[in-house]
């Protein structure tokens, strides 16, 4: 085994401290409630954007006359009308 100088040992210790400090910061960020809320919010926004893009593509395909897309648009519209009717019915009771 080779002898290490005091400066090599100090350099190794400093590198280990920096590494540990970075790890502690990463853990702190990961466990932070605020950071978790931001991550969940960003994930939800991505999913909503993806759904909106898919809906837009379906509407465009339906307006181009594609039968499958038209069926999807009609099904969604029918569901919306049914949901609206149920809400109105509930409000009138």
Q: Is residue 41 part of a domain?
A: yes
Q: Is residue 47 part of a domain?
A: yes
Does the pLDDT at position 1 exceed 70?
Answer: no
Q: Is residue 37 part of a domain?
A: yes
pLDDT in tens, 2-48: 788 999 999 999 999 888 888 888 888 888 898 889 999 999 999 99
Residue 66 is encoded by which pair of tokens? Answer: 């594609």
Q: Is residue 72 part of a domain?
A: yes
- Report the predicted TM-score, pTM, of the whole model to 2 decimal places: 0.54
Q: Is residue 40 part of a domain?
A: yes
Q: What whole-number distance in Å separates Cα of residue 32 and Cα of residue 41?
A: 14
8 Å CB contact between 6 and 13: no
Range of the domain at 24: 6-92
Q: Is residue 1 part of a domain?
A: no
pLDDT in tens, 47-90: 999 999 999 999 999 999 999 999 999 999 999 999 999 999 99
How far lies 40's CA from each of 32, 36, 81, in Å? 12, 6, 31
Question: Number of folded domains in the chain?
Answer: 1
């Amino acid at each position: 085994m080779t002898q290490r100088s005091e400066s090599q040992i100090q350099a190794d210790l400093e590198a280990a401290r920096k590494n540990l400090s970075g790890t502690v910061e990463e853990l702190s960020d990961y466990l932070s409630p605020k950071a978790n809320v931001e991550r969940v919010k960003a994930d939800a926004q991505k999913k909503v954007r993806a759904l909106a893009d898919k809906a837009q593509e379906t509407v465009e395909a339906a307006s181009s006359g594609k039968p499958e897309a038209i069926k999807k648009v009609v099904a969604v519209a029918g569901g919306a009308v049914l949901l609206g009717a149920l809400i109105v019915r509930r409000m009138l009771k």
